[in-house]
Amino acid sequence: MKNRADELKKAIDSILIERHISKVTNTVTTKGELLCTKYWVNSVYRVKSGKSINKFIKTGNWEPGAIYSSPINGHILVGMERNSDQKITRYDKEGKKLQDIQWDDKGKTLYKSVKYITENIKGDICTSNFWARSVVVVRVLGEYWFSYTGQESQDVFMYRCSGTHPGL
């Protein structure tokens, strides 16, 4: 009998081989489905049981990048890029668009380059804003909460991944 991890690896390999490229991000849903972004076709694909690969979300003229599947409510958060614009789009577990998060309350763009996305138990979203060398946190409704750019004693703050405390 095949191992579930082996099935998922084969699915990822088939996606990577298609374009000989490694700029594919992925996440796993609470149902055990693998979600992969394919920026060159502006889509998110879903892999069920390591066998079928289906286009799940079309992102229009936005290139999907970072992706996160919430264990809390099943929502899918996708970092998107178009020209120099960046945003995070929230989808429900069926792939229906629910929300775009792009600007703060003053109309200033929140992101320069979303590389990693996660959330806390309350649904607040934490992202690495790579080129801005910061972490950006927004409340569950998409309202800007705060940014962190490191300590004054640091020469360069390069945030490359994200995680949250389950109780926060």
Report the predicted TM-score, pTM, of the whole model to 2 decimal places: 0.78
Tokens representing 99?
A: 């929300």
**Residue 117 Rama label (left phi>0; alpha psi -120 to 50; beta):** beta
Q: What is the model's pLDDT at position 5? A: 63
Enumerate long-range contacts of 38-43, CB under 8 Å, 24 or more apart. 38/64, 39/63, 39/64, 39/65, 39/81
Which amino acid appears at position 26 of this protein? Answer: N
Q: What is the model's pLDDT at position 135? A: 81
Contact 56, 95 (CB under 8 A): yes
List CB contacts of 39: < 8 A, sequence separation 6 or more.
23, 63, 64, 65, 81
Domains observed in the chain = 4-148 (2.120.10.30)
- Looking at residues 74-103, what average pLDDT do you find? 94
Digit-coded pLDDT (tens) for 108-166: 988 888 888 988 888 899 888 765 567 888 898 889 988 777 655 455 444 444 444 44
Digit-coded pLDDT (tens) for 10-41: 666 555 545 544 456 888 898 888 898 988 88
